[in-house]
């Protein structure tokens, strides 16, 4: 279906900017409607198959990232230092372990068995 577009050659700069603003708002509204409709369809299909949509795509935490499946779980120490310091192996290497490695010690020596 061929659509006839309006002639914009005679419009002033302010009129063109207003037209552009209206077009951008219309595009965003159409996208929002399509997104909501698609989400509704996906939720209905998931329920029909016996799932929730979050189960299928993973619940998202802040920042749009999926939450860790072990969030909030207390981790066992992976390394124990000479003075009882502990390190789970996650996150930045602690200062006590870095200093021991600088002195030539092997990290494996402090592994919890």
pTM of structure: 0.47
Please, what is the end-to-end C-alpha distance for the chain in angstroms? 72
Say yes or no: 22 and 56 in one domain. yes
In-domain check, residue 74: no
User: How many residues would you count in the chain?
Assistant: 113
- The C-alpha atoms of residue 44 and residue 38 are separated, in whole angstroms, by 10
Backbone torsions φ then ψ of 66, nearest 5 degrees = -70, 145
pLDDT value of residue 68:
73
Each residue's pLDDT tens digit, 3-48: 888 899 999 999 999 999 999 999 999 999 999 999 999 999 999 9
Say yes or no: 28 and 58 in one domain. yes
Domain ranges, residue 46: 13-64
pLDDT value of residue 61:
54
In-domain check, residue 29: yes
Structural domain count of the chain: 2
Handedness of CA 64, 66, 71, 75 (dihedral sign): negative
Each residue's pLDDT tens digit, 70-93: 778 888 999 999 999 999 998 899
In-domain check, residue 19: yes
């Amino acid at each position: 279906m061929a659509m006839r577009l309006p002639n914009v050659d005679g419009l002033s700069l302010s009129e063109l900017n207003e037209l552009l603003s209206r077009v951008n708002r219309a595009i965003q509204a159409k996208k929002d409607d399509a997104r909501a409709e698609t989400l509704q369809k996906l939720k209905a299909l998931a329920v029909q198959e016996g799932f929730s949509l979050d189960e299928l795509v993973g619940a998202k935490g802040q920042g749009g990232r999926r939450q860790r499946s072990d969030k909030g779980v207390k981790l066992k120490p992976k390394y124990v230092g000479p003075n009882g310091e502990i390190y789970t192996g996650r996150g930045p290497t602690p200062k006590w372990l870095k200093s021991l490695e600088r002195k030539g010690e092997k990290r494996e020596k402090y592994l919890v068995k």
